[in-house]
Amino acid sequence: MEQAEKHPSYLQHHFADMAQQTDAAKLGMWVFLVTEVLLFGGLFGFYTFFRAWYPEMFMEAHKYLDVTMGTTNTFVLITSSLTMALAIRAMQLGKKKQTIAYLAGTLFFAAVFLVIKYFEYSHKFHMGMLPGKFYTFEGIQAANPHIFFSVYFTMTGLHGIHVIIGMIIITWVMIRTMRDEFSPEYYNPIELTGLYWHLVDLIWIFLFPLLYLIG
């Protein structure tokens, strides 16, 4: 059982050493992030086509988005990215309590983002600015304004789902932190969660100007 001594509990049996496991996990995560980028890339593609076909409509319709709320949300998410990075830093230094606090902070900001989004959505619902065939708002003169809101709701909706998934994963690594599963030698899951969370933020940073700040 010499093998067992060399193998700490968090090193999976099929890897030769920690470096191999960490590298593989990181590479895997980066590749997965690429697929996420392409998933949203598809949506950005649709956005581009429709904006090119209906430029005036996009100009007019985007004015009905709340720039204040959007800007606030942008700052909220950037802050959450910061707390996420600080959580990783804290675990590198072996400060468990700080790590938990920063992860909780990240969760808090994510929740704030969703609450603000909820107010934005409910306002749109109330005004009848719904996607596609449910669109009833009459304040926009240009043709096919429902397309803008179809695009808006699909893009921000899919992003919102990613925020929720991110919150679930953050909660999971937080519980694992509480259970003392991580140490300065092994904190890979937190780091990978961080990578994912930064991507979620990054996508918002593209969504925000493209939807809220046209023209």
Partner 1 sequence: MSVATTANYLNAEKGIKSWLFTLDHKRIGLMYLFAVMTSFFLGGVFALLIRLELLHPGQDFFTADTYNQLFTLHGAVMIFLFIIPAIPAALGNFVLPLMLGAKDVAFPRLNLASFYIYVVGALFALYSIVAGAVDTGWTFYTPYSTTTSTSVISMTMGAFILGFSSIFTGVNFIATIHKMRAPGMTWFKMPLMVWALYATSIIQVLATPVLGITLLLLVIERTVGIGIFDPAMGGDPVLFQHFFWFYSHPAVYIMVLPGMGIISELVATFSKKKIFGYKLIAYSSLGIALISFLVWGHHMFTSGQSEFSSMVFSFLTFFVGIPSGIKMFNWLATMYKGRITFEAPMLYTIAFMFLFAIGGFTGIMLGAISIDIHMHDTYFVVAHFHYTMMGGTVIAFLGGLHYWWPKIWGRMYNEKLAKVAWAFIFVGFNVTFFTQFFLGSQGMPRRYYNYLDQYQPLHMYSTYGSWMLGVGFLIMAYYLIYSIYKGPKAPNNPWGALSMEWQTTSPPIQHNFEDQPVLEHEPYDYDTRMVVNDELIKKEDVKEKEDINV
124: number of Cβ within 10 Å: 19
Q: Give the residue with the Cβ less far from partner 1, 116 or 169.
A: 169
From 17-25, 75-83, 99-107, 193-201, span contacting partner 1 (CB under 8 A): 17-25
Binds partner 1 by CB under 8 A, chosen from 39, 78, 115, 213: 39
Burial of residue 148, with CB atoms counted within 10 A of its CB: 0-12 exposed, 13-18 middle, 19 or more buried: buried
Residues 139-158: x where in contact with partner 1 by CB under 8 A, - otherwise, as a string: ----xx-xx--xx-xx----
42 binds partner 1 per the rule CB under 8 A? yes
Please report, as residue ranges, which positions from 51 to 80 form the binding site for partner 1 (by CB under 8 A): 53-54
Question: Would you tell me which residues interact with partner 1 (CB under 8 A)?
Answer: 12-14, 16, 20, 23-25, 27-28, 31-32, 34-36, 38-43, 45-46, 49-50, 53-54, 131-134, 143-144, 146-147, 150-151, 153-154
